[in-house]
Amino acid sequence: MTTWVEVRTAVLAANAAAVRAYLGPQTSLCAVVKANGYGHGAVLAAEAFLAGGADRLAVTTVAEAVELRDGGIAERILLLASHAA
């Protein structure tokens, strides 16, 4: 048995647009694309969420942030990690 997932970026964008419409223009929308976009591809997911109206992105490692930058993502990226003492 083989398993697979089909990612419909239009649906990701539509979901972001629905949240964006609910929040209104005064609130920023941050899409979390950690863990390789939850297995869907970080850059692919980021592009879809940004197309849907996300203002910024969040990841959990510097490597994930670098992957987004290397993939051409220029928007703000929030690093969701603790500071090592």
The per-residue pLDDT of the chain, averaged, comes to 92
pLDDT of residue 27: 96
Residue 85: its H or E element = none
Would you say residue 84 has pLDDT above 70? no
Tell me which residue of 52, 50, 51, 41 sits closest to 77, measured CA to CA: 50
Q: With beta carbons less than 8 A apart as the criterion, state whether 56 and 78 touch.
A: yes
Would you say residue 1 has pLDDT above 60? yes
What share of the chain in percent tops pLDDT 70?
Answer: 98
Would you say residue 85 has pLDDT above 60? no
Cα 76 to Cα 27, 31, 62, 82: the distances in Å are: 15, 11, 13, 18
Would you say residue 75 has pLDDT above 70? yes
